[in-house]
Structures are given as C-alpha cells and as structure tokens.
Amino acid sequence: MPTVARYADTLLAEGERIVLRTRQHWFATIVDGRVPWALFVVSLILLIITLTMGDGGVRTVLGYVVAAGLVVSLAWLGKHYWSWMAQDYIVTNRRVLKVEGIINKRSADSSLEKINDAVLEQNLFGRIFGYGDLDILTAADVAIDRYRMLNKAPGFKKAMLDQKHALETEFAHIPGPPLRAPGTGGRPMSADEVTRALGDLAALRDRGALTPEEYERKKQELLARI
C-alpha cells in the first residue's frame, strides 16, 4: 500500500534528506488540553449524578447540559489530538524544519549553518519520559526558535549538531568563499525586533543558559544592527 506523503515532505529541496522526524511529546496533548479534559471529567461526574436522580425536569435539563459538555469536550480534545498529529519537527542534512497546523499550515526553518547555539532544558519528568524544551539561536537574526515539550529532545539536539558539523565539513572541502562571510553580518533590525530579541536573550541569561559575557556580546551585536 503506497504511503501518503506528509505536508513537510513536499517542502524538501532536491538532495535534501530527513535525518530525524518527531513532534511534541504526547504529554503536550494533556497540558495544552487541560481545559477540555477538565470539562470532560466534570461532565462525567454530572452524568453519574444524573443517573442517580429520579425522573423530573431537573434531570432533563441536567441531561442536556451533560450531553453538551461531553460533545464539546470530546470535539475540543479531538482538535488538540489532530493538531498534535499534524506536527512535524524535522532535522535534515541542510536545516531544521518545523511544520504545524491542521488545515492552515505554518512552516519555519533554520539553516544549519546559521545555527549559533542550542539550549536544552529538561525537568525531572522530562528526563524520565524523554522530552524537553529546546531553544535554537540563529546567527542570522539573533532570534530564538523554541521547541516546547519536544519528544526525544536530546536525540533531536544531537542529530541537529551532527548534521551541522557534517555540513560545515562539507563546505570546508569546497573551494570558494568561507561558510560565513566576514563582516558585521545580518540584516538591519527594527527597534521592536531588537527589543524582542533582547528579551529572549535576557530570559536565557536568567536561566543560566548564557553567561553574562555571552549576553553582553550578543547584546552589542543586536544594538549595532539598529
């Protein structure tokens, strides 16, 4: 039986191959769906109460409320699950690609040669169940791309860095200009973009992901691009 290609597969360039494909950990469907889960549980409790009540108008009204609660919560949970299934977080031999959305798709990618830092954070449950938050800092825009509750996060980071090293090695053996041209680099940024980027960098510094020296250096790089 032929395999139906996913949307992310249609975005691959010629010669580009997928090294690792994953999505958020399934815990994310519980965390993000905590409101419909709560509605579902409350509806079940009300259903049990309704079944113990005698016939009457109150039971009829409560029955309609329970039915509506169950339908809404199940539809809401189905949407969360479908959104989770539609995710594609991919490492290729050229870039890191993120695709999200059920009908309206949103894709974002970072070229491996532009990746500057990768910061992985895992709490106790994350280490036990194999998920974590991965922040990718790109040198081009001094921006941060966050992969929240990423499944197999350590393996994703390792695959990304391995492919980055392989790509840089490949470029090093090609005659011509260096992988990163010298100079100030990067496009000019608006004041709002710089403010947002500084906020992201400050958050990483406060979490200990960046040293004060690294923070100051990146801060000066940002301010120089206004």
Q: pLDDT tens-digit profile of 66-120?
A: 999 999 999 999 999 999 999 999 999 999 999 999 889 998 888 888 888 889 9
Cβ(154)–Cβ(120) under 8 Å? yes
- Residue 181 scores a pLDDT above 90: no
pLDDT for 184: 47
Tell if the pTM clears 0.75, that is, is over it.
Answer: no
Q: Closest Cα to residue 69, out of 49, 52, 55?
A: 49
Contacts of 152 (CB under 8 A, 6+ apart): 20, 22, 130, 131
Annotated domain spans of the chain = 28-84
Q: What's the CA gap between 179 and 170, in Å, rounded? A: 10
Token pair in block for residue 164: 């980055």
Instruction: Indicate the helix (H) or strand (E) that contains 205.
Output: helix 191-206
What are the tens digits of pLDDT across the range 105-149? 998 888 888 888 889 999 999 999 989 999 988 865 556 788 999
